[in-house]
Structure 1
Amino acid sequence: MKPSTLPTTTAPVDLAALSAAVAAANRRVVVIDDDPTGSQSVADLPIITTWTDDDVRWAFDQDAVGFFVLANTRSLDPGAAAAVVAEVHDRVAAVAEERGEDVVLISRGDSTLRGHFPLETDVLARRGADRGRGVDVVLLVPAYPDAGRITVDSVHYIASADDWTPVGESEFARDASFGYRASALPEWVAEKTAGRVAASDVVCLTLDLIRTGGPTAVAEALLGCRAGRVAVADAVDEDDLRVVALGALAAETEGLRVVYRSGPSFVRARCGQEARGALSDTALARAFIDAPTGHGLVAVGSHVGLTGRQLERLLAERPVVPVEIDLARCLESRAGFQEVVEDSARQVVDHLRDSDVVVMTSRTLIRGTDAEDSLRVSRVASESLVSVVRAVAARRRPAFLVAKGGITSNDLATEALEIDRAWTLGTMLPGIVSLWVAADGPSAGVPFVVFPGNVGDDGALAAVVARVAAAAGAAGVRASAT
């Protein structure tokens, strides 16, 4: 299903003009990320995974247009997610006030529409109002063209070279915790708000408006919004996102208070960054300067179909040793859990002496009895993987760690590698799959690849592992030479 024609734009957006508008706005962009994958389209931005006053002040101290707060709310139940978002908002707002700065908030969500919406934007709007900074509009921009997620005529698609699939017909819409039916964003908003927001009340920034009216038309449409009205934006390419960002910036300058709910690509546009390609071999080599020598570890927690195909290709094409964690046994009892973790960690450590290793939760998907139980199963699966990797790192630090899956990446970063503050260096594939380096702490020196479960083609995981394994091998050769 693909529209026969799309409106053409009058001219590409000048990145310099966008960057100048971002600088002139002088508002720090704070991205509250619902899992670690939101940084996969940007480079050279700080990330904090905890939000003490000292952590938030550190992020504000960095010379950057904005920063990420890794809240990981997608792995939490609604009550816990709301509490985390409220706490992050209040800490950020307090530090901004003490520094005399203004901020703009992006609730970064999944480009396939999974996650706690409208809960997270509701919390941000309510906490802002409590501090006398009411929200005029909640702007949804889920498009992520780098990964084939596009929005046309307010309908969100998963696009490939052959076809466009309405997102409500995809496997992601059947998610056990965050499932939905609608593909048209106004209907999706009505569905997720249980009718509190009618589809007819949603403001649509269509591709025609964006490409023919430009930033001025976008700004005018947004300036007509008040009292937290919901607006949704089309986008097929980077210029569409830049037009929306410029229009939103102009509306903000006129005093409009906007809270964004977006996929990864709009973060890049709102920060005024260019769309970069994959990190060069030279840039990647720099990430391995202080890395441990030896072999690396790939940890796979995601169970979406794409991850399964990528894992199959990795195991077929790379000389890696697989170690599978028995999730069913982990769910039976704590004693079983501990035995599985110890046995799996021992296997991984033994194999790392001679080979790169893939450690994964059981590939047979175990579903909970309802949404809450499904989250419990996900948490136990993540806990088992984290426990194994933590035990491995304590005995033998891997030369690199590739984390496959959003929740997986968060838990490995925060609990296994104990990363509190980090920088995202760039992407391993164009516009997707970020490479982090810890700013300090026990994991400093270990390159950490954040690979979402739902991006890339079937060979993407094998390609990324090949690149980091080659960089690790070259670093080991250099270390031996010295």
Structure 2
Amino acid sequence: MEQYSRLPISVLESLPEADGEEIHRIYQEEWKDFGRKVLVLDDDPTGIQTVHDVSVYTDWSEQSLEEGMQEENSLFFVLTNSRSFSASQTEKEHKILAERAVKGAAACGKKLLLVSRGDSTLRGHYPLELEALREAVEQQTGRPVHGQILCPFFREGGRYTINSVHYVKEGDMLVPAGQTEFARDKTFGYHSSHLGEYVEEKSGGRYRKEDSIYITLSMLRAQKLEEITQLLLQAENFRPVLVDAAAQSDVETFAICLLRATKAGKDFLIRSAAALPKVLGNISDRPLLDRQELLGAEADEAAGENYGGIVLIGSHVKKTTLQLEELKKTRVPAEFLEFNVNTCFRKGGLAEETRRVIREAEEAMNRGKMAVVYTSRTLLAPEGMNGEEKLKLSVEISDAVTGVIAGLHRKPAFLVAKGGITSSDVGTKALKVRKALAAGQVQPGIPVWKTGPESRFPGLAYIIFPGNVGETDTLKKIVELLAPASLEE
């Protein structure tokens, strides 16, 4: 396996420029008669990092899917939270979901485009999710799925794909993804930075590097629309299509060709980060949400009551730890409460720890402070635990941490959850949200749900903060934006 070098971030400025306005104009024309309903299956709640004013459903019942299909918007999300699933559960649920989605679309007289939104640092159940979807779709429609598209670019998170190598921005350098901490994930680890090698590695050789179709940055920047479209038309037998991108215009250029190939009769399944769904749904840009948009009339009400908010930090990646340390410097009065995850090795330990943290968090908020609950940074797992066992343990811990929010007796002034699995469990299990509105972003790549009337705290601006996104001071900025004025020193 080839080793790839780190690149200075300045390399992005040296790339040939694209005519973004012209590309956008062509895409808008191409999209007009596309007509497909785009259903994004999100493996954690962070896939809405680029969109606004779209629905997110937290279950895939026939009722929810039918409701989403009948919406005026061309795109909607279903939160699967499958990154917390076992492999067998992932396969089972994706087959059920695809079967219901295809039937639901047909009943509404609509054609469907399925997107599996995965992590921009290449973690998750790939290729399992796409293969399960393929099997169900082909059974339901009697038509082959010709290709699988991989596009992990996500500018807001600093993820770029250049010459088929996927990079993660760290400081002023672009680090090949296989050399980052994300590649060492205990459950979803990998070694490859080159997308062709990654696909071959994760598929156990079923999809070989040399058999993939490569959509390169040089092709995209030269606007070789006909050449790219012809490559897509060559896809057969679920052939991987691996897409470079270093700017939004690259994604739009590729999407023009994808729409043309689809209209010509080709069917694809997509595995992407958050950039491509925004384009396929034709979602416009919008400014970051401000305090009034986030909290509305509740901003002044919460300030008057002098009741604190809560931050829940489950993610343990290095970036999150640095953001936590920076948050400790905030001018907002705060109580920092460590949730000891190693109580999981003692019978009843997690439940006892949850009760303790609820009690101390509510005491802090009643005193007008912000409660910051964070998991201890090290899990002392016994040697010899396999990936499935570690995943099961992480789910147990996540349930206990989520229980802190579920156990609150009063609506907090604000709620921030840090980490993909953590934020999903908070939304579905603690807040009991069935349908939320993706309102926009509070910082680049950090989305906001407005919870539905059926939820435990209706109308709450729920900040979903991915573990691997943002600068060191981003969490601190968000908290200081959200905190009632009377909580600031």
CA deviations on 1:384-406 (whole Å, 9 max, x unpaired) are: 111121011xx122122101000
Q: In 2, are the aligned partners of 1:156 and 1:166 still within 8 Å (CA)? A: yes
CA RMSD, aligned part only? Answer: 2.0
CA deviations on 1:222-262 (whole Å, 9 max, x unpaired) are: 11111210010000011001111111111111111011000
What is the CA–CA distance in structure 2 between the aligned matches of 1:250 and 1:66, rounded to whole Å? 19
Q: In 2, are the aligned partners of 1:126 and 1:134 still within 8 Å (CA)? A: no
Structure 1 residue 282: Cα displacement: 4.1
Q: Which of 87, 95, 99 is the matching residue for 1:90?
A: 99
Q: In 2, are the aligned partners of 1:143 and 1:149 still within 8 Å (CA)? A: yes
Q: 1:372 to 1:225 in 2, by over 3 A?
A: same
Structure 1 residue 378: Cα displacement: 1.1
1:323 aligns to 2:337 (yes or no): yes
1:73 aligns to 2:82 (yes or no): yes
Q: Which of 290, 307, 310 is the matching residue for 1:297?
A: 310
CA deviations on 1:70-117 (whole Å, 9 max, x unpaired) are: 001101110011111112111211111111111100000000000000
Q: Which of 225, 230, 251 is the matching residue for 2:235?
A: 225
Runs of 4+ in 1 over 6 A off after TM superposition: 289-292, 471-474
What is the CA–CA distance in structure 2 between the aligned matches of 1:19 and 1:284, rounded to whole Å? 30
Q: Which of 266, 275, 298 is the matching residue for 1:256?
A: 266
- The residue that corresponds to 1:312 in the other structure is 325
- The residue that corresponds to 2:245 in the other structure is 235
SS at match of 2:457: coil
1:102 aligns to 2:99 (yes or no): no
Q: In 1, are the aligned partners of 2:158 and 2:168 still within 8 Å (CA)? A: yes
CA deviations on 1:305-343 (whole Å, 9 max, x unpaired) are: 00000011112224221112221113321x222221111
Structure 1 residue 8: Cα displacement: 3.3
| Matched ranges for 1:144-223 at <5 A | 144-160=154-170, 162-223=172-233
Structure 1 residue 125: Cα displacement: 1.0
What is the CA–CA distance in structure 2 between the aligned matches of 1:304 and 1:186, rounded to whole Å? 26
What is the CA–CA distance in structure 2 between the aligned matches of 1:277 and 1:215, rounded to whole Å? 31
1:399 aligns to 2:399 (yes or no): no
Q: In 2, are the aligned partners of 1:7 and 1:207 still within 8 Å (CA)? A: no
What is the CA–CA distance in structure 1 between the aligned matches of 2:340 and 2:291, rounded to whole Å? 37
| Matched ranges for 1:123-138 at <5 A | 123-131=132-140, 132-138=142-148
Q: 1:407 to 1:471 in 2, by over 3 A?
A: farther
Please say which of residues 318-327 and 343-352 is displaced more in the overlay.
318-327
Q: Which of 397, 403, 414 is the matching residue for 1:387?
A: 403
What is the CA–CA distance in structure 1 between the aligned matches of 2:143 and 2:53, rounded to whole Å? 30
Q: Which of 440, 453, 461 is the matching residue for 2:475?
A: 461
Please say which of residues 294-303 and 160-169 is displaced more in the overlay.
160-169
What is the CA–CA distance in structure 1 between the aligned matches of 2:476 and 2:300, rounded to whole Å? 24
What is the CA–CA distance in structure 2 between the aligned matches of 1:459 and 1:227, rounded to whole Å? 46
Q: 1:309 to 1:141 in 2, by over 3 A?
A: same
SS at match of 1:25: coil
Q: Which runs of 5+ in 2 are unaligned?
A: 1-5
- Give the paired residue count: 470
What is the CA–CA distance in structure 1 between the aligned matches of 2:428 and 2:300, rounded to whole Å? 20
What is the CA–CA distance in structure 2 between the aligned matches of 1:445 and 1:77, rounded to whole Å? 32
What's the TM-score once normalised by structure 2's chain length?
0.92
- The residue that corresponds to 1:269 in the other structure is 279
1:53 aligns to 2:62 (yes or no): yes
What is the CA–CA distance in structure 1 between the aligned matches of 2:300 and 2:103, rounded to whole Å? 36
Give the letter for the 1:56 counterpart: L
Give the letter for the 1:248 counterpart: L
Q: In 2, are the aligned partners of 1:303 and 1:365 still within 8 Å (CA)? A: no
What is the CA–CA distance in structure 2 between the aligned matches of 1:198 and 1:313, rounded to whole Å? 44
What is the CA–CA distance in structure 1 between the aligned matches of 2:349 and 2:22, rounded to whole Å? 57
Q: 1:15 to 1:471 in 2, by over 3 A?
A: farther
What is the CA–CA distance in structure 1 between the aligned matches of 2:101 and 2:132, rounded to whole Å? 14
SS at match of 1:384: helix
Q: In 2, are the aligned partners of 1:41 and 1:426 still within 8 Å (CA)? A: yes
SS at match of 1:213: coil
Identical-residue share of aligned pairs (%): 33
Q: 1:11 to 1:444 in 2, by over 3 A?
A: closer
Q: Which of 6, 17, 40 is the matching residue for 2:49?
A: 40
What is the CA–CA distance in structure 2 between the aligned matches of 1:60 and 1:177, rounded to whole Å? 34
What is the CA–CA distance in structure 2 between the aligned matches of 1:289 and 1:463, rounded to whole Å? 17
Q: 1:24 to 1:471 in 2, by over 3 A?
A: farther
Q: 1:473 to 1:350 in 2, by over 3 A?
A: closer
What's the TM-score once normalised by structure 1's chain length?
0.93
- The residue that corresponds to 1:355 in the other structure is 369
SS at match of 1:210: helix
Give the letter for the 1:346 counterpart: R
Structure 1 residue 463: Cα displacement: 0.7
SS at match of 2:315: coil
Give the letter for the 2:406 counterpart: R
- The residue that corresponds to 1:6 in the other structure is 15
Q: In 2, are the aligned partners of 1:288 and 1:447 still within 8 Å (CA)? A: no
- The residue that corresponds to 2:3 in the other structure is none
Q: 1:352 to 1:285 in 2, by over 3 A?
A: closer
SS at match of 1:272: coil
Q: In 2, are the aligned partners of 1:81 and 1:120 still within 8 Å (CA)? A: yes
Give the letter for the 1:357 counterpart: A
SS at match of 2:167: strand
1:434 aligns to 2:434 (yes or no): no
1:448 aligns to 2:462 (yes or no): yes
Structure 1 residue 211: Cα displacement: 1.2
Structure 1 residue 382: Cα displacement: 0.4
Give the letter for the 1:18 counterpart: Y
Structure 1 residue 285: Cα displacement: 4.0
